[in-house]
Structure 1
């Protein structure tokens, strides 16, 4: 009895503190929950965005590959030359994605540079068979004005909905802010999950033979607990992608970040191609040879074209296992006239700020841990609408119980 009395003031303080956190969790859930449900659900879809593109556009992307002994991938110059014959008016070659598998086409990206043509679409993909250099399809991808989203391809629409809610720059900032609030919501949920009685086993499972009210409560707390480890890094990286300048201000206090964004290992502002009189750009095949001779491991993934006659090529490789089984990416800056490699960047290297930057996309997409990571991020995204719906149901249940209690009390008084 004495021990109980000694614990009571401490337990009372914990209960008061818990009530305050419950209010924080409740209001953040109402403020950010519905939007987080949309962002989380679309994020789950985008975990498989490459596979979805290949399924939904199979007639353009999937080709009939020759037997392995007869596969002869044509030079990249022929691939791009084929794309040039059908490129939309006013557009310019921007980048190219190499096929992930032998039965997939090259994906050549063009962007419209002529403002008068912008109404017809700002970004396009042209698909080219790597064995025949035949164009297998042309697909417009997005509008640059950030105001028109209906009618664009499904995966592109989901991407826009995910990161900006179809609201352009305003939506991008709003999603970043709401992701930050959701971080606090998840952390407050973990505080509320913590059992004051110390009965952790009960807090980790569903109560057997429970009614609908208890089942909803257990579903909310267990889903929240088991997905918190995934949601915290995914939400933080989401804040970073949408509000990079704000996050950089904080992290630069601890370790300088030398790059402008998490999408490119090498900023190209400090690199220029050197052109001699009458000199023409080297063939694309020469660029590939230079990169492959320097670092043969990994697979060619993405090539960015120069923005102008002084610009440089950015060539990216993936699956460089010798570098990292988690973020095995390597970038190259290549002079467009000499084919010389001007700089190389290996992800996961450099100071702490750069390493931090390198991890954001692999963690956000789940690709850092292969299929296991992707499935975990997929489930984490699905947890967002589950947490919102069960949270709203829990709130309505408590309101109903409180109303019944008040009515019962009034009836007793009368």
Structure 2
């Protein structure tokens, strides 16, 4: 009898020590990385709708007057390409283009020039330049356009302006924040019969209890989305180790290599982006071309991104096609329906991060989870201060 009671006492003590360990982990990660979560979450919420916000901020660059025929009156891509060449400065190198999203949107070309990233718009109807703007400057974060500033702040906290591996810091912070969320769920997990109270606000609660409930419920209801967004952020910021792990769990095609090369030129002239688009559309005629990435060097490939593509997946309707810059052959198709299970897992990451995986519902969920980050940090900080004051008062009374 005494031995059983002793075992129970040791078991309770062990559980208490284990809970305190997880409470300390949750607390200190929250205090150290919580402020980062606020910045990353709020900027991410804005960037979920970055096209819409960008067009609102700079309509001269991105908005054009619609014609009666809509997209049917768009100029041929060959005309757009000629205008692109004329609009690009002599030393500039075009990196990618966003195609019009609707009948009132411009083509948006990004190009590198003297270490800066700039962009210009072309009217899809007559191929005239709408505007030319600085987007991102390596010389100073305060020379970025607002949208460029937000993207840099989101993925690297502007550390990429100071060090080459600035994004790695955010990747490590994302790992710690995932641990914090999991520890928070462990600490919250209710005993049988307590689920209703654990998932609701206590009515008529005092300020201290209300703060605790807000922190608890904000974390519980946003946990699944935040974990998915943080994991995909780790993939994008710490890609090499992330891919290495996935490849060892579920082997990837070519080991997940990003290196894709065109065939040797052998006397052939490189194709232009209209030919790359035509090749992609011939292979996947039902999709809408959203963006085209240009080859980075003589052996590079075009990457054509399609959206609104039926038949790929129930939740993800996007696909990218790699096009040889000399033969216009499709060298690879990348979507969740092609490749290994590991490939599919990796291709879920960006749609999950951006919310595109579930359409408007997914985008709103990602936006809401990001806006909850300040609530989690502030209520957690208040909770810690409340406990610290209580401990000091107890010590003084003793």
* TM-score > 0.5, shorter chain as reference: yes
Inter-CA distance 365–284: structure 2 relative to 1 (3 Å threshold):
closer
Q: After alignment, is 237-246 or 197-206 more displaced?
A: 197-206
Say if 2:61 is the partner of 1:60: yes
Q: 1-side partners of 2:233 and 2:275: how far apart?
A: 38
Q: 1-side partners of 2:131 and 2:219: how far apart?
A: 44
Q: Give matches, 1:315-326, under 5 Å.
A: 315-326=304-315
2:212 aligned to which of 198, 217, 235? 217
Q: 2-side partners of 1:251 and 1:310: how far apart?
A: 28
Q: After alignment, is 231-240 or 345-354 more displaced?
A: 345-354
The residue aligned with 1:20 is 21
Q: 2-side partners of 1:177 and 1:136: how far apart?
A: 41
Deviations 1:134-184 (A, max 9, x none): 1111112112x4x52112111110110111111113431111111101111
The residue aligned with 2:130 is 136
Say if 2:264 is the partner of 1:269: no
The residue aligned with 1:396 is 385
2:154 aligned to which of 141, 148, 162? 162
Q: 1-side partners of 2:39 and 2:255: how far apart?
A: 28
Say if 2:225 is the partner of 1:227: no
Inter-CA distance 205–166: structure 2 relative to 1 (3 Å threshold):
same
Q: 1-side partners of 2:382 and 2:188: how far apart?
A: 17
Deviations 1:88-112 (A, max 9, x none): 3410222221111111001112122
- 5+ unaligned residues in a row in structure 2: which ranges? none
Deviation at 1:8, TM superposition (A): 6.3
Deviation at 1:7, TM superposition (A): 11
Q: 2-side partners of 1:246 and 1:308: how far apart?
A: 26
Q: 2-side partners of 1:285 and 1:89: how far apart?
A: 21
Say if 2:374 is the partner of 1:385: yes
Q: After alignment, is 361-370 or 267-276 more displaced?
A: 267-276
1:148 aligned to which of 123, 140, 156? 140
Say if 2:195 is the partner of 1:203: no
Deviation at 1:218, TM superposition (A): 0.6
Inter-CA distance 361–286: structure 2 relative to 1 (3 Å threshold):
closer
Inter-CA distance 337–246: structure 2 relative to 1 (3 Å threshold):
closer
Q: Over aligned residues, Cα RMSD in angstroms?
A: 2.4
Contact conserved, 2:273 with 2:302, CA < 8 A, in 1? no
Contact conserved, 1:251 with 1:353, CA < 8 A, in 2? yes
Q: After alignment, is 371-380 or 162-171 more displaced?
A: 162-171
Inter-CA distance 127–371: structure 2 relative to 1 (3 Å threshold):
same
Say if 2:121 is the partner of 1:127: yes
Contact conserved, 2:202 with 2:210, CA < 8 A, in 1? yes
Inter-CA distance 325–196: structure 2 relative to 1 (3 Å threshold):
closer
Deviation at 1:294, TM superposition (A): 2.7
Contact conserved, 1:94 with 1:304, CA < 8 A, in 2? yes
Deviation at 1:308, TM superposition (A): 4.0
Say if 2:41 is the partner of 1:49: no
Deviation at 1:394, TM superposition (A): 0.4
Inter-CA distance 151–12: structure 2 relative to 1 (3 Å threshold):
same
Q: Give matches, 1:317-336, under 5 Å.
A: 317-336=306-325
The residue aligned with 1:412 is none
Inter-CA distance 170–103: structure 2 relative to 1 (3 Å threshold):
same
Say if 2:363 is the partner of 1:369: no
Deviation at 1:340, TM superposition (A): 3.5
Deviation at 1:200, TM superposition (A): 1.5
Q: 2-side partners of 1:273 and 1:312: how far apart?
A: 12
Deviations 1:370-413 (A, max 9, x none): 1111111111112222111111100111111222222333xxxx
Please give the TM-score of this superposition, normalised by the length of structure 2. 0.90
Inter-CA distance 309–252: structure 2 relative to 1 (3 Å threshold):
closer
Say if 2:348 is the partner of 1:359: yes
Q: After alignment, is 33-42 or 223-232 more displaced?
A: 33-42
Deviation at 1:58, TM superposition (A): 1.0
Q: 2-side partners of 1:158 and 1:132: how far apart?
A: 32
Deviations 1:296-350 (A, max 9, x none): 1110112222334444322221111211242222222333344333443334421
Deviation at 1:130, TM superposition (A): 0.6
Contact conserved, 1:71 with 1:131, CA < 8 A, in 2? no
Q: Give matches, 1:52-91, under 5 Å.
A: 52-68=53-69, 71-91=72-92
Q: After alignment, is 376-385 or 283-292 more displaced?
A: 283-292
Contact conserved, 1:95 with 1:303, CA < 8 A, in 2? yes
